[in-house]
Amino acid sequence: MTPFEASRITEALCRRAPVIPVLVIEDAAQARPLAKALVAGGLPVLEVTLRTPAALEAIHEMSRVGGGTVGAGTLITPKDVAAAKAAGAQFGVSPGATATLVQAAADEEMPLLPGAATASEAMALAERGYTMQKFFPAEAIGGVAALKSLAGPLPHIRFCPTGGVTPANAGSYLALSNTLCVGGSWVAPAELVRRGDWAAITELARAAAALPGKPAEYVA
């Protein structure tokens, strides 16, 4: 899979809903009902971060939920990519990008949403063919103002900002011409997950899905 092909796929995923839930799952038994709740609320693209021992099993469980597309976040090494692919992840997300990681994703035929924090990083990824990127850590590196500044000189690059995105600022990000969706954890609060309050999570997802996203179409 070429970087261009990967970006076409991840761009299509980013257009499916205005928010991609960023999930840290401690108990894999909660993965499937959590995925069902989020999909029912209108958020079909899910990112499970590889930050817990349960993450790979959670990806496996979520991959069996109809209507959803599950990916693996916090990919750092080629081993992470291979393990995520084996668990059933349909795409990957990384906080940054190295040549080794990018090559591993290509070797595994895994669409990658690579992270960039500066204009130079974004340009280097776009030069390789990755025109759909994660902007991370969004709020810590300037937030909406920083991302808006990149739109002028780099109009061909599109982003999914993640890191500090909340219901209060998500709309400001989504209003930018170079932002297709945002990544956020607020749609699945840890306390609601622990209680198994899937109805409440579905309502949070429904509110997030109602944010003004971009049309579900490819852009060359």
Task: Check: CB of residue 95 under 8 Å from CB of residue 70.
Answer: no
Rounded distance between C-alpha atoms, residue 121 and residue 169, angstroms = 24
The catalytic residue positions are 47, 134
Buried b (16+ CB within 10 A) or exposed e, 181-206: bbbbbbbbeeebbeeeebebbbbbbe
Rounded distance between C-alpha atoms, residue 140 and residue 131, angstroms = 22
Listed in order, strand segments (DSSP E) in 81-129 are 92-93, 112-113, 115-116
SS3 label, residue 195: helix
Provide the edge-to-edge strand list for the sheet that holds 182-184. 112-113, 92-93, 69-73, 45-49, 19-23, 182-184
